[in-house]
A and B are shown apart, each in its own frame.
Chain A
């Protein structure tokens, strides 16, 4: 079985329509993507770095794609309230994969910042877009190739040299449809030298009974001495699959935080591919997954230290419950010339039941002697003595376990450099472990009574 065939056929039949509703720069990469996909054999489940994820399975269903860009009859900014509403931020919406400006989108944005539709960005600044679009992401990655073949729009963020964006930018990606749908988006983030920006991207699914596939490729280019935070929060449903590949290139002296937070999901594969291209740059790559029922979260990261004097701090934590599956595979690669590298990788997990499963594969490859590196993984259960100690103080067993799970995630949450989000996350994680329903807590569409 090759699940890619249907997408290749779709493009061959409707390529003109795809192109028509996009931009030239984006269309310019489709030929490459098609040729790559025609040669691609998807990695079978169990192969290297795909130990738990079956791309064929995820891509096999016959999802609808809105390539004709039929407008969706919703007013998302009126009905949708994100789980992180207290954040004073500029809000931008992507409904399925169509850009929809919100009411308060550009309020308070300084000069020198572009945030908006990728399609429009590529139309308005074709030369500039051409310089960055598709330049960082690796077309040999089937997620990237498929995204490049079918993507028509997404988000572009461009922060010009020296511009410091004080209000965080919040991108809300909403999946909403009555029938199965695949949404293909692309995110292009260009932060020029000495610029600063904090971005929060939230994925939400509105219809819990509908199958969705979210396909996303993100390219982040960070200039010299720039500071970038990118928080990627998923609060979707059990029927949502997500394939995400994030590519980051960091210039000299830059400081980047990438944080992948999975509170609710169905089947998710998140990839992080990062590379240092200049000296004295630092990266924090953090993430957490709270997985229960039969949810599945697979994280893959590859961090390349190509230049000397750079620092990586990588931390991923999972709590896996019921019959959920968690997977983490992380590689830090230190090139021969990357002296004085400091790189630390840690993956720690709690497996709460006999039927939940966690796969962990930490990897360090070091090709020079002058480095400080460490990696470690630990997977275990809740500490019984801690639970007992709390119970002797009258704290019921369920509450004790809840507090311990929250506590387990504390260092990931405390790593967040966006105060509004940090406080909100403590609350969201607490509510998550207490078993609250995801989007219903934050959305006011009133759909819940009918469920």
Chain B
């Protein structure tokens, strides 16, 4: 589904990603872990197409198409979803109008007519239930005045509405208490099928108790320096990142 080869990217002239290789197949859950500043969020931004980041080398193919050539909205239509670490507040734009614009843009892309109001509201209701999102949030401005937990649940709600093939969840666990974490994780699990895939970016192992990864990658200094199964995450929980840093830094020095 996703094939990333030797991906390099920079922001403001500073190279952050220094040759990422990653392959994700339908039905898989990948966890990307790594210390602060290793490039985790940059990777998610680059895969989603944030124009502030410049790709300086390598390639990324998504469902057989050149991902990097697509603007963010086309990536979304094709099935890429980014759950933001810091969901953006948009005062003055209601959740309803925001989601309607999103849903209808996708339908237009696939040559379908806009959804009827009844159909749309019914879908919103169903999807909201997945993450136990309060109805009253729907009439509010996007993420404005939402609590940290509500913002993250709102991300998963949007994911449920857009039904992506590949979801990239960037530190979805940060700032969540244990109950919110459970709701968010259960939402993700409910949406999982054998046809879609998830990349979970996280700093801690905690989230992976709820969302079981098939693969765990460790990102450090803009490269995936180690890949393993779920046991790698447990090892990190126990030993921290220092041993990996040392190992990589030693290799660099030799």
Residues of A within 8 A of B (CB): 383-386, 388-397, 399, 403-404, 406-411
The answer, among B90, B97, B162, for a CB contact under 8 Å with A394, is B162
CA distance A108 to B155 in the complex (A): 52
Q: How far is the CA of A384 from the CA of B49 in the complex (A)?
A: 13
| Minimal beta-carbon separation of A133 from chain B (angstroms) | 42
What are 18 contact pairs spanning A and B, CB under 8 A?
A386-B88, A386-B90, A388-B50, A389-B90, A390-B98, A392-B73, A392-B75, A393-B102, A394-B77, A394-B102, A394-B109, A397-B71, A399-B105, A403-B90, A403-B97, A407-B141, A410-B91, A411-B92
What residues of A have a CB within 8 angstroms of the CB of B51 in the complex? 384, 388
Beta-carbon contact of A404 and B82 below 8 Å: no
Instruction: Say whether B72 contacts A406, CB under 8 Å.
Output: no
Closest 6 CB pairs of A and B: A407-B92, A394-B76, A391-B72, A410-B92, A389-B88, A393-B102
Secondary structure type dominating chain A contacts: helix
Does B81 sit within 8 A of A, measured CB to CB?
yes
| Cross-chain contact B102 with A408 (CB below 8 angstroms) | no
Chain A residues whose CB sits within 8 angstroms of the CB of B91 once the complex forms: 407, 410
Q: A residues within 8 A CB of B162? A: 393-394
Q: How far is A443 from B158 in the complex, measured between Cα atoms in Å?
A: 41
B99: chain A residues within 8 A (beta carbon): 393
Interface string of B47-73 (1 = CB under 8 A from A): 011111000000000000000000111
Interface residues of B (CB under 8 A from A): 48-52, 71-73, 75-77, 81-82, 84, 87-88, 90-93, 97-99, 101-103, 105-106, 109, 141, 158, 162
Assess whether B88 is in contact with A385, with CB atoms less than 8 Å apart. Answer: yes
| Docked-complex contact B90 and A388, CB < 8 angstroms | no
A403, B101: Cβ atoms closer than 8 Å: yes
B92 touches A389 (CB 8 A): no
A390-B101, A399-B105, A407-B92 given; name 19 further pairs at CB < 8 Å: A384-B51, A386-B88, A388-B50, A388-B51, A388-B52, A392-B49, A392-B73, A392-B76, A394-B76, A395-B73, A395-B102, A395-B105, A396-B73, A397-B71, A397-B73, A403-B98, A404-B93, A406-B92, A407-B141
Please state if B92 and A388 are interface contacts (CB–CB under 8 Å).
no
Please name the residue on chain A nearest to B168 by beta carbon.
A392
Provide the bound-state CA to CA distance between A203 and B84, in Å: 46
Contact A407 B81 (CB under 8 A): no
A209 CB to nearest chain B CB (Å): 36
Q: Which residues of B contact A389 (CB under 8 A)?
A: 84, 87-88, 90
Is there an interface contact between A392 and B90, defined as CB atoms closer than 8 Å? Answer: no
Contact call A393/B92, Cβ cutoff below 8 A: no
Complex contact A404–B90 (CB within 8 A): yes
Contacts of A411 in B (CB 8 A): 92
Q: How far is the CA of A188 from the CA of B173 in the complex (A)?
A: 63
CB-CB under 8 A from B50, the residues of chain A are 388
Give the docked Cα–Cα distance between A391 and B80 (Å). 11
**Residues of B contacting A384 in the complex (Cβ-Cβ under 8 angstroms):** 51-52
The docked-state distance in angstroms from the alpha carbon of A230 to that of B254 is: 78
Of listed B51, B73, B76, B97, residue having the most chain A CB within 10 A: B73
Q: Which has the most chain B C-beta neighbours within 10 Å: A390, A404, A409?
A: A390
A399 with B101: CB separation less than 8 A: yes
On chain B, the residues within 8 Å of A407 by CB distance are: 90-93, 141
With both chains docked as a complex, state the minimum distance between the C-beta of B109 and any C-beta of chain A, in angstroms. Answer: 7
Pick from B51, B77, B92, B141 the residue with the most CB of A within 10 Å: B92
Residues of A near B101 (CB, < 8 A) are 390, 395, 399, 403
A392 and B87 contacting across the interface, CB-CB below 8 Å = no
Q: How far is the CA of A411 from the CA of B77 in the complex (A)?
A: 32
**Chain A neighbourhood of B98, CB < 8 A:** 390, 393, 395, 403
Most chain B beta-carbon neighbours within 10 Å: one of A386, A392, A395: A392
Taking the nearest CB of chain B, how far is it from the CB of A275, in angstroms? 33
Are B81 and A392 in contact, CB atoms less than 8 angstroms apart? yes
Q: What's the Cα separation between A388 and B49 when bound, in Å?
A: 8
List the A side residues contacting B77 at CB < 8 Å: 394
Bound Cα distance from A409 to B72, whole angstroms: 26
CA distance A34 to B44 in the complex (A): 70
Chain A nearest Cβ from B107, distance in angstroms: 10
- Determine how close the nearest CB of chain B comes to the CB of A278; give it in whole angstroms: 36
Q: Are B105 and A396 interface neighbours, CB within 8 A?
A: yes
Return the contact of A392 from the options B82, B92, B141 (Cβ within 8 A): B82
Tell me the minimal C-beta distance from A70 to chain B in angstroms: 48
A391-B97 in contact (CB<8A)? no
Question: Whose C-beta in chain B lies nearest to the C-beta of A399?
Answer: B101
- How close is A202's CB to chain B, nearest CB, in angstroms? 25
- Shortest Cβ distance from A408 into B: residue: B92
